[in-house]
Structures are given as structure tokens and as C-alpha cells.
Amino acid sequence: MTYTTRNEAVAEARTAERRTGDRHYAVRTRAGWIVDTRMPLLGEWYDADGIRHG
């Protein structure tokens, strides 16, 4: 699913992390923001705590 804002994606990553117990990340793509379980190597991304990386 694609989200329009960073805050929506971080909130969904936090919810998914609580639900599954696995780490989730909000990743910026050309189409918008996505939530993924893989830590990206490049680009702008946030962990479920809202801390910016990349």
C-alpha cells in the first residue's frame, strides 16, 4: 500500500511492528511512501520510532 505522507507511513510501520514483532520501515519512493520489512540501503527512510535514516 502507498501512503501520501511520512506520518501515515510511520504510524502504519509502528502498528505493523507491534502486530508482527518484526521491524518495519517507512520508505520514500517515487509513488509515495511504503512500509517494508527490509531495511533500505539508499534513499530517505524512517524506522517505526520516527527516526530518519538515509
What pTM does this model have? Answer: 0.91
CA pair distance 24, 52, nearest whole angstrom: 13
Of 27, 32, 31, residue with least CA distance to 48: 27
- State the pairing for strand pair 52-53/25-28: unpaired
pLDDT reported for residue 54? 79
pLDDT of residue 21: 96
List average pLDDT for each run of 10 residues in the chain, which is 54 residues long: 95 97 96 95 94 90
